[in-house]
Amino acid sequence: MAMSDWNIVTRSMRHRFFSSVVTILSVAIAVGLVTLLISMRDAGENSFKRGTGNVQMLISKEPGPLPSVLNSMFYAQAPGNPITWAQYLELKRSYPFAWSVPTQLGDSYKDAPVMGTDESFFNDFQPVQGLSWSLDQGAYFAAPFEVVVGSDAAARLGLSLGDEINLEHGAPRTEGGHTHDQFAFRVVGILSPTHTAHDRAIFTPLESSWILHAHDRREAIFGHGIVTTGEDLVADDMKITAIYASLGERKAALTQVLSALRRDPNWTVANPADSVGGLFQIVSNIDQILLAMAIAVMLSSGVSILLALYNSMEQRKRQIAVLRVLGASRTRVFGLVLTESALIGLIGGGVGVLLALAGGLLVTKVLAQRVGIVVEPALPIDGYLIIVLASVAISCVAGAIPAMVAYRTSVVRALQPSG
């Protein structure tokens, strides 16, 4: 095969293998970081918004809309201020909700939060807009002390149909929680994955949760060994922590209802999608700092290309001089060095994108396990192309100085016998 500029460039890189690999890696890491950050930005927000499903209003007594959304839809902490069942019924009567779902958080099994709710949670609430719940195995709960387990919780805790579990009072990882050994909850259904935070939760009828709390109340009065049933519930036991609600297609009324609820000091009302948007607005400054840092890393990798090529120029001057003697023009040797630089940028950019994709898979897995939401960092194909092209462009700029050294190499001086 005839010799070509390509042969000379690739052989030159192979000749300085270690230096070439280190430079390519530094570019790859920089490109990987930038790619991952850019792809995470949109994916994070989209993923959080996805988890709010078809809820138009989240009503609670939390101190603000954002904690309300984070606690009641993303299971960050157990909400603190309860809503009585009577208040809930009054609220339902007062506003033209198409549907409303009462939810109660405060118990857990191992590290999975347990939500008390009713069948409307599975009938009316869609965890992802347009996507209703579906069961992977079994059935939805129909009686107290039955539980339906989110897909991620089932996989992580090794739960299967028919298993019996004892819930703990308090949210996961809460100090001072205690296990209700007297009450065995039976797994009757396992949900299909929704790739939202709900996948790591366990669901049980509200009445079960209320009985647990009634039992604590009664034990304090009557001592250990008592038996508590639904019959023993009093109004003070029947509390919830948040209400998922929607006006359905009556979107025109939404603003009015929201403003009416917001005027009422008894309620905290959140539009979940707006709250998530607000959250990302808050973190966008940090995001921009991270992005600036990633771009700085990318520029520093450009400097490392410059240094690697520039330092190699001393030993390559003779090679360049020989090529000049053989008939290569100054422009051509300039092009050879620039091509090498661009090739480093191209390989580094490609490897960087692969690193970002691998890193994205890791982030997806970790977030799915830890937070229960699926963040899928991905860019459109032209996004990746633009990043690789930017890497090539920065590399070319970095390679211009060593290429200029090659261009200006004095053939006569470089060919003088050394020593």
Residues in the chain: 419
Instruction: Give 259-262 contacts, CB < 8 A, sequence gap 24+.
Output: 260/95, 261/57, 261/59, 261/95
Nearer Cβ to another protein (12/304): 12
Instruction: Confirm if 113 and 92 have CB atoms less than 8 A apart.
Output: no
Distance CA 69, CA 76 (A): 9
CA dist 243 and 59 (Å) reads 5
Minimum Å distance from CB 37 to another protein?
A: 39
**Least distance (Å) from another protein to the CB of residue 32?**
30
Closer Cβ to another protein, 11 or 370, answer by number:
11
Q: Are 301 and 30 in contact (CB under 8 A)?
A: yes
Q: How far is the CB of 407 from another protein (least distance, A)?
A: 11
For the bound state, the minimum distance from the C-beta of residue 416 to another protein, rounded and expressed in Å, comes to 8
Toward another protein, which CB reaches closer, 336 or 374? 336
Closer CB to another protein, 218 or 332, in the complex: 332
d(CA 56, CA 126): 11
- 185 contacts 208 by C-beta, under 8 angstroms: yes
Cα–Cα distance measured from residue 86 to residue 101, given in angstroms and rounded to the nearest whole number: 14
Burial of 415 (0-12, 13-18, 19+ CB in 10 A): middle
- Nearer Cβ to another protein (378/415): 415
Residues of the chain by 3-state class (helix, strand, coil), percent to 5:
60, 15, 25
- In the DSSP assignment, the letter for residue 131 is B
What string of DSSP letters covers 206-227? HHHHHHHHHHHHHHHHH-TT--
Give the interface with another protein as residue ranges (CB under 8 A): 1-5, 7-8, 11-12, 14-15, 318-319, 321-332, 411-412, 415, 417
At its nearest, how many Å lie between another protein and the CB of residue 8?
8
Is the Cβ of residue 3 or residue 252 nearer to another protein in the bound state? 3
Minimal distance, residue 328 CB to another protein, in Å: 6
Closer residue to another protein (CB): 218 or 318: 318
The least CB distance from residue 327 to another protein, in Å, is 2
| CB 403, min distance to another protein, A | 16
Residue type, 317: K
Q: Which is nearer to another protein, 169 or 316 (CB)?
A: 316
